Structure 1
Amino acid sequence: MAHVSISDAEWQVMNVVWEEQPLTSQEIVAQLADQADWAAATIKTMLHRLVKKKVLTFEQQGNRYVYRSCVRRADCVKQASRSFLQRVFESEPAPLLAHFMQTTKLSAEEIADLRRILDKKEAQK
């Protein structure tokens, strides 16, 4: 995936599309109008921007536009995570993980999941 920067608002649009694609522009507008209280014109502008960025594709079916993602959510998450790690933590993962561990309330199950991930990572070395 080429480097594509997605704004916070565009993430909201993409999350709707990734959950239920393909979707018509009317379906996307209806879902986001409830979630974000945005005007239909604002949402359609974001859809157009995402198509220009080659994150979304569409096909016209009669007088409706049907949208699908061109990229996987996992690829966008990976890219955004790397960008955040670089900008905020100078590409050092340990301080990032320590920060989240210290500032986030975690359930016993989440802590156990994290231990399993770390144990697996350690075993791979």
Structure 2
Amino acid sequence: MTETLTYSEWMVMNALWGKDPQPLSGVIEAMGETVDWSYRTYASYLKKLCDKGFVGFEAKGRDKFYYPLVPREDCIRAESRSLLKKVSARSKKDLLVCMIEESGLSSSDQAELRSLIEHLGDSK
């Protein structure tokens, strides 16, 4: 997968990942007050995501029940690749350091990251 999501599309996808298929009203409810969009705007983003192949739907009566077709991990990987392509080879370390510093990782996530870095060093 090479296509990435816009910020607003990420917000919609976050409302879908890890949940059962839901109607448009469920997506609106899941997003809560994070955005101040009209009903049409939600519908427009869902249509775009369907057209791009990120979201599917099942028609049940008059409702469409939306669900993600692309796992969160695949979207994160595509976004990461896109960002790394934009940065020169010498700046990649700086980018990663900045992302780690800005992320607010939990202690357990920090420990997991340390372990991964140590493992990468061992494989050389």
Give your verdict on TM over 0.5.
Answer: yes
CA displacement 1:58-109 (0-9 Å, x = unmatched) = 111001100111111111100001101211x225532222333555666654
Unaligned runs of 5+ in 1: none
**Superposition deviation, residue 123 in structure 1:** 1.5
Moved over 6 A (4+): none
1:34–1:81 Cα change, 3 Å: same
1:90 partner letter: S
Which secondary structure state, in structure 2, belongs to the residue aligned with residue 41 of structure 1? helix
Which secondary structure state, in structure 2, belongs to the residue aligned with residue 114 of structure 1? helix
Comparing 99-108 and 15-24, the one that deviates more: 99-108
Match of 1:43 in 2: 42
Match of 2:88 in 1: 90
Match of 1:70 in 2: 69
Give the fraction of aligned pairs with identical amino acids, expressed as a percent: 28
Comparing 102-111 and 53-62, the one that deviates more: 102-111
Question: Does the CA-based 8 Å contact 1:85-1:93 persist in structure 2?
Answer: yes
Question: Does the CA-based 8 Å contact 1:33-1:39 persist in structure 2?
Answer: no
Q: TM-score, normalised by structure 2?
A: 0.84
Match of 1:121 in 2: 120
Match of 2:11 in 1: 12
Unaligned runs of 5+ in 2: none
**Superposition deviation, residue 37 in structure 1:** 2.1
1:76–1:104 Cα change, 3 Å: closer
Counterparts in 2 of 1:17-32, with a 5 A limit? 17-32=16-31
**Superposition deviation, residue 33 in structure 1:** 4.5
Once residues 31 and 104 of structure 2 are traced to their aligned partners in structure 1, the CA distance between those partners, rounded to angstroms, is 29
Question: Does the CA-based 8 Å contact 1:21-1:69 persist in structure 2?
Answer: no
1:34–1:98 Cα change, 3 Å: closer
Higher-RCO chain (CA-CA 8 Å, sequence separation at least 6) = 2
